[in-house]
Each structure stands twice: as C-alpha cells, then as structure tokens.
Amino acid sequence: MKIMQLKRYVFSILVTAFLVIFTGNAFAAKNPSRNIVDGKVDDTFANNFIVTSPYWQVDSGSYTFIAVSHSSLSGMASQIGVKINAITSAGAAYDTAESFTVTAGSTQRVFIVPTNHATVNSTTITSGAFLAGTTDFTYGHIRATPVATHPWQKHAGGYPTAIGHGAGFRDSTTLTYWGSVIIEANTTGFAMEFVGDMNDSTTPAVTFRFNAGQGATHTAQTKSGDCDRINSSGVNLQ
C-alpha cells in the first residue's frame, strides 16, 4: 500500500512539473480576449480560444488516446471544427496536425501512436484521426484550436426562423475532451487532464446585439429582442 501511495505521489509531482514546463509552449503569446469578433491572427489564437493537455506519450509499448465529444448544448454550432497538434518536449510537431469536424451528439477519436502500429492505425480504425511518428519514446503536450477563424461569431442562416444546419458558435472550447495514455503490456494507463474545455475554466457570459434578417451578424445595434448571449470557455492565463 505504501509503495502504491508513493507511486501516486511521484506521478502527481511529475504531472505538476510538466504543467509548469509546457504551459509556456502550449499557448499562443496572446493575452485572453473578450472581444466576440476576435479570432485567429497569424495562425495563433488568444489563450481563451485554446484547449491543452500537459502530457502525452508514445513508445514501442504505449500510445495516447483522445476523444472529443459534442454535447449538443444550446448555442453550440451543430458542426465544430477542431485542429489538434501534438507538440514534443523539444517543441516540435510530432506529426502534421489533425483537423476534423465534430457533429452534434457525436465523438471523434484521436490516436497518437508510434509509426506503423500493428493494431491501432487508420486501416483498422477507419473513423479515427491519427498522429503517427517515431517508435522511440516521445512525450509532450497537446494543443487544440478552432478551425473557424472567428469562433465567437455566431454561424447563422435565416433569422428569426430556424437558422439551419450548423447554426451557433463554432468555438472548440465548448466541446468536451477526455483521454488517456495506454500502456499496452498490461492494458492499463492513466488519464489525461485537459485545460480550457467546457468542463474547465469559464468567463462570464457576454450579452450583445445583432441585426435581424438573413445572414444575421453581430453589431452594436440595440433593437429590442435582437440580443443573444455567449458563455465562453477557455483558459484565462494573463
């Protein structure tokens, strides 16, 4: 029992260390933004557009599994694009970043695996997204960003009638991220922690106005009844 407690204690120290070391690299060098029309500039986002996990690993006997789920909450677009990048401890991309769309009520599986993994690959799991690199022991952090250029702008069709497929905010921080590092020899592993998704830090709801009519967009107008709210999520590092 004491040995198990010691292992857990050591592991908690390691995870904390990784959080401290990698957080600086995990986020863009931009302070959090509260501007609903803010978005991607030079392929970077403000910190509160980003979801991160401090640790992943692969080697000849382990791989990493991540699931990204769309909970179909009010205000979420029915299709939300996500770009996931696995950054190594050396600060380089483990493989080309994977981009995919998560549809309402569905879950997208993501696998970070050694090259040419015999059982976990795109042939055996055709619906998965794969980041595949070296078979050497490699570790680092995860960085997930929106595909949408301005994820806090409401994607809408006609208004006020049903605004169509995809209506809502295409903010990838409103999705749910979960995963684990899998140790294959004994089919065990440990859970990953994600920072910045809908289950984590939040900012106060913002109320704003927008024009009615086809292709409604946000403006500063204050017509009665033409208001909407967004409950933003994401990490709030200063």
| pLDDT by position in tens, the chain (length 238) | 444 444 444 444 444 444 444 444 444 446 666 566 667 776 677 777 899 999 999 999 999 999 999 999 888 999 999 999 999 999 999 999 999 999 999 999 999 999 999 999 999 999 999 999 988 999 999 999 999 988 888 876 444 444 445 678 899 999 999 999 999 998 889 999 999 887 664 444 444 444 444 444 443 333 334 444 444 444 433 3
What local confidence, expressed as pLDDT, does residue 206 receive? Answer: 44
Q: What is the pLDDT of residues 47-98, one digit of tens each?
A: 778 999 999 999 999 999 999 999 998 889 999 999 999 999 999 999 999 9
Flag whether 236 is in a domain. Answer: no
- Beta bridge partner(s), residue 107: 69
Q: What is the pLDDT of residues 131-143, one digit of tens each?
A: 999 889 999 999 9
DSSP state of 97: P
Flag whether 100 is in a domain. Answer: yes
Place of tokens 């960085």: 143
Flag whether 238 is in a domain. Answer: no
Place of tokens 């863009």: 28
Instruction: Name the residue range of residue 223's domain.
Output: 2-230
What CA–CA distance (Å, rounded) separates 171 from 38?
A: 12
Provide CB contacts within 8 A for 162, sequence distance 6+: none
Burial code of 96-125, b = ≥16 C-beta within 10 A, e = fewer? Answer: ebbebebebeeebebbbbbeebeebbeeee
What local confidence, expressed as pLDDT, does residue 200 receive? Answer: 63
What local confidence, expressed as pLDDT, does residue 32 receive? Answer: 65
Q: What does residue 206 show for φ and ψ, rounded to 5 degrees? A: -115, 130
Flag whether 155 is in a domain. Answer: yes
CA distances to 74, 103, 214 from 158, rounded to whole Å, are 17, 21, 4
Task: Count structural domains, the chain.
Answer: 1
How many other β-carbons are positioned within 10 Å of the β-carbon of residue 56? 25
Question: CB–CB of 105/95 below 8 Å?
Answer: no
What local confidence, expressed as pLDDT, does residue 74 receive? Answer: 83
Integer Rg of the chain from CA: 20
Q: Is this structure's pTM higher than 0.75?
A: no
Flag whether 237 is in a domain. Answer: no
Query: Residue 199 carries which side chain, given as an amino acid letter?
Result: N
What local confidence, expressed as pLDDT, does residue 198 receive? Answer: 73
Flag whether 95 is in a domain. Answer: yes
Of 203, 222, 237, 227, the C-alpha closest to 35 is 203
104, two tokens? 């309402």
Flag whether 114 is in a domain. Answer: yes
Question: CB–CB of 29/49 below 8 Å?
Answer: no
What CA–CA distance (Å, rounded) separates 54 from 214?
A: 43
What local confidence, expressed as pLDDT, does residue 161 receive? Answer: 41
Flag whether 6 is in a domain. Answer: yes
Question: CB–CB of 142/86 below 8 Å?
Answer: yes
What CA–CA distance (Å, rounded) separates 29 from 51?
A: 14
H or E element that contains 181: strand 176-183
